[in-house]
Amino acid sequence: MKKLLFLISVCFLFIGCSNDNVNSSNHLSNSDPVTWLTIDGNKYYYTTTYDSMDETTLVDTGNVTDSEDGIQLGLNIYKSNLFEDRYFIKSQDYEKAWREYKLRD
């Protein structure tokens, strides 16, 4: 009986360890953004979303996203007056939210 209980415990241990290995590969890391903008040959990657912004600090670049960008086509691209080398796109998911794009470090 003790051997059977020990064997079952070992099996559960192996099953638990193997599940951790499978699940850990399914997580995205912060270093792998899923969207980007290509501006003047440079790729600006998504970094964060702001719930709201002072829109007076944003200037419309006159450009829209196209096939070179890793995001939905036709979105207006804005440049910030406060942050150098950062671009913003109005979020399509949340009203008043803005997505920030910048060069990778």
What's the pTM value of the predicted model, to 2 decimals?
A: 0.66
> Residue 56: what are its φ and ψ, rounded to 5°?
-70, -15
Backbone torsion region of residue 60, taken as left when φ is above 0, otherwise alpha when ψ lies between -120 and 50, otherwise beta: beta
What lies within 8 Å, CB to CB, of 95 at 6+ separation is: none
- Give Cα separations from 52 to 1, 31, 90, 97, 100 (angstroms): 64, 24, 10, 5, 12
CB-CB contact of 59 with 81 (8 Å)? yes
> From first to last of its 105 residues, what are the pLDDT tens digits of the chain?
777 776 777 666 666 655 444 443 444 455 555 899 999 999 999 999 999 889 999 999 999 999 999 999 999 999 999 988 899 999 888 888 999 999 987
Enumerate the domain spans of the chain: 36-102
